[in-house]
Structure 1
């Protein structure tokens, strides 16, 4: 096991954290595991020209992770997972499941007034079964 897990979404700050996680994984010779947490999975049907297409969050997230994995860790055996629920809880659960070496997160909402609203990095650091690396991704 021994993965480097990184929590991602489609934000610029998450991409910075993912890039740092990929560099750490490569330097340590450990596999990278990208995780995206969805609050809940929803689907929407769109009809056009007599055809109905179902667009769901899970498929969009899977496509995003596959693309990001290709950019960051092509040919390294990197893996990914889309999970439903709170992001901090999902990262900790994946780390426990995989017996991860490290969780990497960005520092978004770690400082200032927004910290009162909740902070994924701080929540992960409190509950993680492994090392946590918080990447400076803002200002």
Structure 2
């Protein structure tokens, strides 16, 4: 991801999340060597993904699609890129965390073969304290 796309990525993140990543969080991921990609349509950033590799494990740290472009299969397209990139980099498994309240995301992840693998209690900040995270994963 080129730094020039950061304002649009942050905008999408802020529109999608109650507790969004900051520009600094995205910069830190880029500096750490995480694989950051933007989805562009007609010269506009409409989505992004951040993938971290640790040995043969891939971890999807963040993903988002502009609300105006949802329901068009773009999230699945971006996830397929994540999976292919992880395979290319030697990944054997893909993992991610998701809020149990995010039913749309869970359905999307299940549609590409991901399964619930566990629960991380109190993982996410929430309006009323903390929210658990579902740990999901699949073989690549």
Higher helix share: 1
Higher strand share: 2
User: What is the TM-score with the length of structure 2 in the denominator?
Assistant: 0.29
* Structure having the higher Rg: 1
- Higher RCO, 1 vs 2 (CA within 8 Å, ≥6 residues apart): 1
User: What is the TM-score with the length of structure 1 in the denominator?
Assistant: 0.30
